Structure 1
Amino acid sequence: MGQRQRQRRTKTGVGNGGTAALAALSALGLMATLAGCGASETSGPGVTLKLVAADYGDSEANSSQKYWDAVVKAYEKKTPGVDVDVSVYSWNDVDRRIKEMVAAGDPPDLAQAGTYADYASAGRLYEVDDLLSIPVQAGFLPQLADSGKVRRVAYGMPFAASTRVLFYNKKLFAEAGIDSAPRSWSELAADAQALDEAGVETPYALPLGPEEAQAETMQWLLSGGAGYTDDVGTYRLDSDENVRTFTWLKNKLVDKGLTGPTAPAELNRADAFTAFARGEVGMLNGHPSLMRMAADQGVEYGTAAMPGYDGREHATMGVTDWMMAFKQNGHGEEIGDFLDFVYSDENVLDFSREYDLLPVTASASEEMAASSRDAGLAPFLDELPSAALYPVGKTSWADVSAAVKEQIGRAVRPGAKPGVVLEQLQQTATVADRE
């Protein structure tokens, strides 16, 4: 039935003649025939879709609830008979709330969060093919869309993206006699030493605390020529390259006191960003939202590609958040139509610009790249096509990510052996991948 639905859908809303046809079928007593072929997916007028979404704002003034309220208002105006009820939760709560709803047997129709693979593997989600029109589905950036697959089937729809680049404080660099961003690890270490000698409190901020240690870790692993997995997707956290990376971090930055007064295992990304915006940090890895934070505090900053261990550019880290649709309540037609509206260029660009994120569609990315108002995002857009993403298609990633957040900071503590910590994480990943 899914293929027939995709062929006949016009994506112009529920009120396009389908309602009358269903009413006629019902009057003829033929709805029972459709029951085995997804009748609940074309339930007609009076449908209310429930959406749970994450909050990208940092205050009530720019809460994501306001964004979704505007999108829903515009959609409901053009699509009589379909209502969308949106609940927005903080990133600290959204994954837990979705999990609780699913466990209680009352999943939302749509959920926008950081992962999807567990629900896909459990057979709870619609395939993307059964929801989106062909132009909308084809419009996703390929490398993002590919990460939305479990066993080569797409279940996750990329919703928001970002990349990481090296931020540096131009004033502090000038005071330390540094005239350009580092291009290699050796240059980064030398610049950090010069910043330290110039009295900078935190020459390089290394946030390996529990908030987002998996991100800082991945960026460093990539710049060292490896990553969390190998070329065929098998975890290799304890590879020779990764051990080399964390041994270098410990010996050349942490042990020499070049990562600031807070131990990396206790430093969270948000605190590192705040310190950079106060002018206390010489360098750190950052995503686009740091631009606004720094500018608001009058910090003149520069950006550059993350230095590679050998002076060459290596893959940078990209992050994608996901939209998924649960099958339990049906309403596949209405869900698909609403998502086609959500992924219009206008809505994608509005969201990206409001929260300093990158568009997930090719056409919106091209428009942003050509717009002078978005010039500050150019370095991040340039990194996106070649960015490496978390292995979110692996159902084990949630457990592995949690373990990295909890343990990786120990790898650079005084007296620690980075290789031992990475071996322990590899054991955790191997077990998780078997379950």
Structure 2
Amino acid sequence: MRRRVRTRAIAAVSALGLAAVLSGCGAGGATSDVTLTLVAADYGNGAADSSKKYWADLVERYESDHPDVHIDVSVYSWNDVDRKVKEMVDAGDPPDMAQIGAYADYASQGLLYRAGDLLSIPVQADFLSQLSGAGEVNSVQYGMPFAASTRLLFYNKALFAEAGLTPPETWDELVECAEALKADGVKFPYALPLGPEEAQAETLQWLLSGGGGYTDIGGTYGIDSTENVETVSWLRDELVGKGLTGPVAPGELDRAKAFEAFAAGDVGMLNGHPSLMEMARKKGVTYGMVPIPGAEGETPSALGVADWMMAFEKNGHRDEIGDFLDFVYSEENVLDFSREYDLLPVTNSASRAMAASGQDKELKPFLDQLPLSELYPVGKTSWAAVNAAIKQKIGRAVEPGGSPAGVLGELQAAAVRAESAE
């Protein structure tokens, strides 16, 4: 029952006339206002759609019903937000809550509340199972999924029509399409962003399509597995080696630049997440989306990505944090955020609502992928170091004359070292 002690209980104590007694216990008074701090990532592309607006509206509605609780939200770009939270933690002054890209390091240091000590049972049970499982360290959930996305193959319909192409279902068909697009003068027949911004995503999607991944079924790193070496070797020889990935070396091409090139009409195909839809529409690019091609057919498991909410124990206020997060994860608020930023809901209730709604039909193909998606091994504290190593090194593996086995072997060794340091 400890997990559901909420402000209602505090109010009941005050009603019994015990507030004065409690205020003498050295905490500054039971009726004092509480200010909770939240550091959050910005999902917008500028001031017009900044996440600041989403949080301002949500906080205003929450505070109107909770006049004794104030929520102070600071929003930072994805380039800065993880570093900002780390600086605050290192300075001994963590925020009450952080909505960022990873949680495991803080959980392993014993700095976070358990999700079960914060959220009501219905709210915690509403998370999609594979997302709540990814939020666990040693079988205890600390990371609360906040936003999710999957990947589909985007293709430029106009360029495909001009070349008389249909969307590929296999790797061989993807090469055939890329060769035809190259013959028509398309700048990036297939955009392969293995630059340092988000190389871990493109890499994992290709490894999954080849039957591999970063870890094996038991959760042990297997980056240099036979399947993975064969996949990266295929990329080097059949796409990069044949000049089908455009004028920028994959190791120097960031995901954001690849998306911009697609929206400019310069890309025939690339793996994309839902935000690319709006970028393409704004630029007048007609696009199609199909499941990621695999070596022999449709990839059985798509890449899934989740961002995380966590709560730090240091400042206390467990009950107030839990009550606020229950509000954050209401069906209405999860849907509002997902629709505003073309992302996928992290709860079953909001996912059902989105699947049944006509207004979300463009997101449905991504939503259909989510239950079978595979996420990064975010529950491993070693993942931060492995992630950084992949971003730094994977581009070398597909260079002409590059060694997929050698680079993947280096990454596996780095993963083993990071694991042993946990």
TM range (shorter): over 0.9
2:36 to 24, 33, 49: 49
Match in the other structure for 2:389:
403
**1:413 lines up with 2:413 in the alignment:** no
Structure 2 residue 24 is matched with structure 1 residue 27: no
Change (3 A) 1:8 1:324: closer
Which residue does the alignment assign to 1:282? 268
Aligned twin of 1:423: 409
1:148, 1:384 → 2: CA distance?
16
Letter in 1 for 2:106: Y
Letter in 2 for 1:17: A
| 1:93 is the counterpart of 2:87 | no
One-letter amino acid matched to 2:233 = T
- Note closer, same or farther for the CA distance 1:385–1:278 as it changes in structure 2 (3 Å cut): same
Change (3 A) 1:415 1:384: same
Deviation digits for residues 37-63 of structure 1 (CA, Å, limit 9, x no counterpart): xx89x9554110000000001101111
Aligned length in residues: 421
What is aligned with 1:184? 170
Alignment equivalent of 1:167, drawn from 154, 161, 164 = 154
Q: How far apart, CA to CA, are the structure 2 residues paired with 1:156 and 1:431?
A: 24
Contact 2:19 2:30 in 1 (8 A): no
Q: Secondary structure at the match of 2:268?
A: strand
Q: C-alpha separation between the residues in 1 aligned to 2:63 and 2:20?
A: 25
Quick one: which of 73, 90, 101 aligns to 1:103? Answer: 90
| Residue aligning to 1:119 | 106
Correspondence for 1:243: 229
Q: Which amino acid aligns with 1:149?
A: E
User: What are the ranges of 5 or more consecutive residues in structure 2 without an aligned counterpart?
Assistant: none
Match of 1:254 among 240, 264, 269: 240
In 2 relative to 1, CA 22–198 (structure 1 residues): closer, same or farther, beyond 3 Å? farther
* Aligned twin of 1:17: 11
Q: 1:271 aligns with which of 257, 270, 274?
A: 257
Which of 124, 130, 152 in structure 1 is aligned with 2:117?
130
Q: Deviations over 1:141-191 (max 9, x none)?
A: 11101000000000000000000000001111111111x211111111111
1-side partners of 2:395 and 2:320: how far apart? 46
Contact 2:190 2:267 in 1 (8 A): yes
Shift >4 Å, 4+ stretches = 13-16, 28-32
Asked whether the 8 Å contact 1:25–1:31 carries over to 2, the reply is no
Q: Structure 1: how far apart are the matches of 2:30 and 2:49?
A: 35
Q: How far apart in 1 are the matches of 2:373 and 2:404?
A: 26
Structure 1: stretches of 5+ with no match in the other structure: 33-38
Give the drift of 1:17.
2.4
Structure 1 CA distance, aligned partners of 2:11 and 2:410?
60
Structure 2 letter corresponding to 1:126: Y
Q: Quote the Cα distance in structure 1 between the aligned partners of 2:81 and 2:34.
A: 24
- Per the alignment, do residues 430 and 18 of structure 1 end up closer, same or farther by CA in structure 2, a change over 3 Å counting? farther
Q: Is the 8 A contact 2:10 2:30 kept in 1?
A: no
Give distance in 2, aligned partners of 1:345 and 1:163. Answer: 20
Residues in 2 aligned to 1:28 and 1:260: alpha-carbon distance in whole angstroms: 69
How far is the alpha carbon of 1:307 from its aligned partner?
0.5
TM-score (normalised: structure 2): 0.97
Contact 1:318 1:387 (C-alpha < 8 Å) held by counterparts:
yes
Q: Which residue of 1 aligns with 2:357?
A: 371
- Given the alignment of the two structures, is residue 393 of structure 1 paired with residue 379 of structure 2, yes or no? yes
Query: Can you list the C-alpha shifts for 1:342-367, whole angstroms capped at 9, x where unaligned?
Result: 01111111111111100101111111
Mapped to 2, the partners of 1:299 and 1:83 lie a distance apart of: 44
Across the aligned residues of Structure 1 and Structure 2, the Cα RMSD in angstroms comes to 1.7
Q: Distance in 1 between matches of 2:409 and 2:211?
A: 18
Shift of 1:68: 0.5
Length-normalised TM-score, structure 1: 0.94
